[in-house]
Amino acid sequence: SGDKLHAILKESEESSLNPNGTVRNQSIKGELILRNASKKHRAWDIEIQLKNTDSTDFGEAIIPIRELDATEEKIIKYSAQGPRMIVMTESIDTDSERNEESSLSLVYLDNPQDILISIELENISSVPLNDVKVTRTMPESFAHAEDAEYVIEDEMLVWNIGRLNPGEKRPLSLSVSANISSVDKISAGISTATYSADATISRSKFEKVTSSGRQFSYVNAKEQDRPGVWDCKCVFENKSSFVVALSGATVRLIGRDEPILDVSDIRQDIPPEGRWDSMIKRVESEEQPSFTQEVRYSILPRISVESKGKVSLKEQKLTILDAIVNKRYDKSRIKSYVSSDVEAVITIENTGSAIMNVVRILDDIPGIFNPPSHGQISIEIEGLELKPEQYQVEIINGIQIEEKLVSPDSNGHGLRATIGTSAPLGLRPGKTMIIRYPLHAPDPSPQNKLLSAPVKAYFSSERFGPVAERMVKKPPQIRVVHRRRNISTGKEVFPGGGLGKYEIMLMFDNNSDSALEDLALHDVVPGTFSIENSSVRSSLSGEREASTTKESAREGTHVTWAIGRIEKDERIEVVYVIQGDPESEYKMSDVQDFHGATFGDEVDEDPNLPEWVEESISTKSISANNDVILYPESEEFEEGPTEEPVEETKEEETTEEPVEETKEEETTEEPVEKAVEKNKVEGSDDNKDSIQECPTCGSENPIGSSQCILCGFSFVK
């Protein structure tokens, strides 16, 4: 036994990897340690030769050190980058039942959701890895069952793997259930692997370590009995506490080129205070010979290499799918048998933390409306309208969602739109997508009462990830209001208190379903009479003010009393007195004709603003459905054909007997304005001469009519 010169290569790795195993950052720190184990002797002329140092920052592969005192230790620090001993990958799949690409999104639900975590280790070095251990932190929202493969230490899961041979792979799996309490991203935990190895990570190795100490060599020459003949040998003495490795010796006689002794492969360790004698060589010389010797030796080194490593995976974030779906119509009431236009607006706000890359809309269009064409539908995000190739739209017959508040006119239609077909939609958290389209109700029947138009949205973040389902909480409602005008008009002439004086009363009684705007009463005063005074009285408010206009005409003076708004069940009476020439011949029948009343639109007492159905009235919303596949098989945009041709269905609907009966009822209850419009349409160039225009309201009436069918004006013959 004896002391040795200790030479150690020690490396330590701390690396961060991406979940797929690629390096994010790597730090390999190394130390070349030389330690003199002798307590009393120095070592000098130390030279260290290394190999495979390309990945290190060693300037030279040969490192000289002048000397080391007894027990002295010298440390040379270095670093390396590139080589690896172990690769770790991790896959988190939030929808593993599909057996497709893994996904990192979850749906915001009350129920726990299963997650599969798969970890794999691979030894990519040429030496075994020892003490391999995998630890994983777990978020509080993850619940996991006990498993024989791992233990729990300090609230971490620990897999004690031990030895991992070169090229060996070790898969680990973990099933957890996640409880989602908010839409914030969930930190899924950090997986870390540690290991040790009897080799360097950088692949650096010792090639040779040489040094010298207190060693002594000489040549012993002993003359034989016969003078001039010498027995010579080389002697090596180790005067230190080190063990010395002797490798070769060469002895030359001064004056000669050829050595008398040349040993190159001794391979002998000389212990402390030990010696080595070479074989005896005979030399003939009359004089005492002189020699030169070279003994090749080195203090025996104790060489070791070791490394340890810690590899951590970048923590993955699980995103949460959630959205608020709203829908509104720009009005809540339309009139029966009156063509109406309504604008529908659907908004989908991303309230989760996951990017929504594909969205599918199922929207109900009530049976009173004609569906929009594809070109009338617009979709925008943050003010930018999507291109047509970014979505697919199809219109099918029959509503898809609502079951209670439906129209008796027809089965309605369903609008299906898949948005994000040619490329990911990229609707980021906090952003809103808006879908707009017009609706036209050509002839809503009064049998429609309260109608609901719910919409449902499916959306996901990844191609094979979970699908969230959200239904509008309060769908828009639309009412068909059956309001008709019911009016009474009249005129009466009474003799006045003197000759040529008459009192005339005009009456307008509003028995309609609502108030009327812009009421005006008209009359014609014969040219020989003048109006002395007039008054306007309401059955609801008493005396009313009204402006009076007069206009001269051939038949007399046209007088108009502009009353304004007349309430429902209100009666207006205009009483005025005329005075004429008492000696002129005048018949009361000359002023008996009523010259009509005009009025405007019906008054809507409440503003016609959007309204929504209460949740308890309409179809209940569904929270989620993960069985829907959103992504189309083909990424090329094609407007899908309707499941049932809309035109054919409309023809079938018009042949149904109840619809025909409804149409007959509609014609019998047709409003006056619509009758006038029909007369206009049906009138051709051939019968233009058979109509006359009312001078008061401008409507067209058949020749021979005594009164205007719109305002009641009496035509003067």
Average pLDDT for the chain: 83
User: Does the structure show a pLDDT above 90 at 684?
Assistant: no
Amino acid 123 reads N
Cβ atoms of 41 and 337 closer than 8 Å: no
Q: What is the pTM of this model?
A: 0.68
β-pair type (281-284, 229-238)? antiparallel
| pLDDT score recorded for residue 530 | 82
- Residue among 172, 205, 231, 184 at smallest CA distance from 54: 205
Tell me the domain boundaries of the chain: 1-214+298-317, 215-297, 322-483+610-644, 487-598, 671-717
Beta strands in 254-390 (DSSP E): 259-263, 268-270, 275-277, 281-284, 291-299, 301-313, 317-321, 323-329, 333-335, 340-350, 358-365, 378-381, 384-385
Place of tokens 């029966």: 336
Label the pairing between strands 455-460 and 450-452.
Answer: unpaired
How many Cβ atoms sit within 10 Å of the Cβ of residue 686?
A: 7
Angle, CA of 77, 79 and 83, to the nearest 5°: 140
pLDDT tens profile 181-222 = 999 999 999 999 999 999 999 999 999 999 999 999 999 999
Using DSSP's 3-state secondary structure scheme, residue 23 falls into strand
User: What is the CATH architecture assignment of 487-598?
Assistant: Sandwich (2.60)
579 touches 500 (CB < 8 A):
yes
Residue 143 vs residues 188, 219, 385: alpha-carbon distances, Å: 12, 82, 43
In this predicted model, what pLDDT tens digit does every residue of 227-253 receive, in sequence order? 889 999 999 999 999 999 999 999 998
Q: Which of 687, 692, 491 is nearest to 572 (CA)?
A: 491
Average pLDDT of span 50-59 = 91
Please determine, for residue 461, whether its predicted confidence score (pLDDT) is greater than 50. yes
Report yes or no: 636 and 550 within 8 Å, Cβ to Cβ. Answer: no
Query: What is the pLDDT, as a whole number, of residue 61?
Result: 83
Q: pLDDT tens, 311-321?
A: 999 999 999 99
Q: What is the pLDDT of residues 294-317, one digit of tens each?
A: 999 999 999 999 999 999 999 999
Q: How many Å from the N-terminal Cα to the C-terminal Cα in the chain?
A: 148
Query: φ and ψ at 318, to 5 degrees?
Result: -95, 125
SS3 content of the chain, % helix, strand, coil (to 5): 5, 50, 40
Residue 240's alpha-carbon distances to 64, 270, 447, in angstroms, are: 21, 10, 118
pLDDT value at position 705? 55
Asked whether the beta carbons of 472 and 325 are under 8 A apart, the reply is: yes
Instruction: Tell me which amino acid residue 226 is.
Output: R
pLDDT band at 584 (very low <50, low <70, confident <90, very high): low
Fold for 215-297, please state it. Answer: Immunoglobulin-like (2.60.40)
pLDDT tier for residue 145 given thresholds of 50, 70 and 90: confident
Question: Is the pLDDT confidence value at 226 over 70?
Answer: yes
CATH of domain 322-483+610-644: 2.60.40.740
Amino acid letter, residue 92: I
Share of the chain above pLDDT 70, in %: 83
Contacts of 225 (CB under 8 A, 6+ apart): none
Is the confidence at residue 526, as pLDDT, over 90? no
More confident residue, 391 or 696: 391
Q: How far apart are CA 394 and CA 374, in angstroms?
A: 8
Q: What angle do CA 247, 75, 304 make, to 5 degrees?
A: 50
The per-residue pLDDT for range 624-677, each reduced to its tens digit, is 455 555 655 444 333 333 333 333 333 333 333 333 333 333 333 333 333 333
Please report the pLDDT score of residue 32 as a whole number.
Answer: 96
pLDDT at position 590, please?
Answer: 59
CA angle 58, 62, 64 (to 5 degrees): 105
Residue 711 has pLDDT above 60, yes or no: no
Contacts with 430 (C-beta within 8 Å, 6 or more apart), sequence order: 349, 350, 351
485 contacts 576 by C-beta, under 8 angstroms? no
Sign of CA dihedral 579, 584, 587, 592: negative
**Dist CA 485 CA 671 (whole Å):** 8
Q: For Cα atoms 644, 415, 631, give the angle at the middle one, nearest 5 degrees.
A: 95
Is the confidence at residue 171, as pLDDT, over 50?
Answer: yes
Write down the pLDDT at residue 136. Answer: 95
CATH of 1-214+298-317, one of 1.10.101.10, 3.40.50.2300, 2.60.40.1170, 3.90.1200.10: 2.60.40.1170
